[in-house]
Amino acid sequence: MEEKSEKTKKSVTRRDFIKTSAMAGGAALLSGRGIGYAQGSDKIRVGLIGCGGRGTGAGIIDCAESSEGVELVAIGDFFQDYIDTAPERIKRNLERRELPVDEIYKVTPETTFVGMDAYQKVISSDVDMVILTTPPYFRPQHLRAAVEAGKHVFMEKPIAVDPVGVRSVIESSEMAKQKGLTIVAGTQWRRLESYQDTIKRIHDGAIGKITGGQCVRCGDAMRTWRSDERVREYSWTDMEYHLRRWLFWTWLSGDFIVEQHVHNLDIMNWVLQSHPLECVGVGGRQARTGLEYGNVYDHFSVEYLYPDDVRIEYIGTQIDRFTPRNDERISGTKGSAYMYAGYGAIDGDNPYEYEGTPPTPTVLEYKDTIDSIRNGKAINEGRQIAETTLTAIMGRMSAYTGLALSWDWAMEASTLDLTPPISETGNLSDMPVAVPGVTDLI
């Protein structure tokens, strides 16, 4: 998939792609209101961009639970059927959390938008902040639009699928700093006390000088994800089918090392207070091979080299009946640390074990977002999550091509842009599974 001629790479920009795919989608577009901020109010008016399971579930629901005075006032999605069912799903999920539906759900037909430009209409509505939960490919474009419009942003991880997107997010984050806007990313593990306490002890020298580590995340093949859309309907264009099955297409999700295991790699960057300098990876597609699984891999293994010759080994799978694991281990000259979500322990000269029941981290990340807006003390996690996302992208690029690569090259020189050529009928170019030794490093 990564092989593209120079003509192909230059023929479609991200902006052109958005315009073209809007025509291909053929969805009805509704007009929005360009009012700006709600001034002099204790209400935080929220716009939701992306009405899939994350957006209508954990997204706006965690946001509403985090703070009083949150109002959802605008929603947008690519597809009419998602928009049609979103109100009921959101209200039902609010009720399950015993949250006051009528005080939170303020969306009207005039602030309900569908189509590839729905994000622009949500941003142009009378909102203070937006939640970005569309497929990761679109994150750079949507973030840039929100920052340019002066809106605060909560964006789900990852924030891009290629180096071109990562650089765009860093630029938008710098723009947000100048404007005093908050950008919080969905790396909720950073708000778990177990990680915070354990990693602080590591930084304070509890295990001595760090010498190496491992992070492992092995789980099932996610075969039931959006199972009702697994079989392509006759009326769907290539574009629509890809968007509905976005998790299994690298250009939309980044592959699972980027889309999901970015959490684990984020912990390693946090512990080492750095991004990796180099990496070399392997991977493949052996168990999950059906056409309905797009062109992503089902296993990866990557060695990351960090400063001071510290090497971190990552293993990740999405294979059924594979032994499940989801943890991180750090070794040092005075001991070792072991962590997973909700737990942390240190063995060695300074033993420690976390004991506690912290609040839900997905709620805390929204609380921090809302508090920063109300207090006028902007949080900006843009570069942090951009560097973690590139860490994962590097691992995928190395595994796809069979080549080692450096951080400096990936960040500064790589021209990889996964935007696919698309016709006005919504047909996409062929996207074969990457083959190491055949797929080019771009």
Q: Is the pLDDT reported for residue 267 higher than 70?
A: yes
pLDDT level of residue 359 (50, 70, 90 thresholds):
confident
What secondary structure letter does DSSP report for 422?
A: B
Give the pTM.
Answer: 0.92
Residue 13 pLDDT: 52
Rounded Cα distance between 405 and 96, Å, is: 47
Choose the weakest-confidence range: 172-176, 235-239, 330-334, 387-391: 235-239
All domains in the chain, ordered by first residue: 6-189+366-380 (3.40.50.720), 190-358+389-412 (3.30.360.10)
Rounded Cα distance between 427 and 302, Å, is: 34
Residue 318 pLDDT: 98
Q: Kindly state the percentage of the chain with pLDDT values over 70.
A: 91
More confident residue, 421 or 177: 177
Written as six digits, the tokens of 13 are 């920009």
CA gyration radius for the chain? 21
Residue 260 pLDDT: 98
Burial of 375-410, coded b for 16+ CB within 10 Å and e otherwise, reads: eeebbbbbebbbbbbbbbbbbbbbbbbbeebebeeb
Q: Is the pLDDT reported for residue 8 higher than 70?
A: no
Average pLDDT for residues 407-429, to the nearest whole number?
Answer: 92
Choose the weakest-confidence range: 25-39, 83-97, 191-205, 390-404: 25-39
Q: Is the pLDDT reported for residue 279 higher than 90?
A: yes
Give the E-state strand segments of 349-392 in sequence order: 352-353
Burial of 285 (0-12, 13-18, 19+ CB in 10 A): middle
Strands 310-318 and 299-306: antiparallel
Average pLDDT for residues 12-35, to the nearest whole number?
Answer: 38
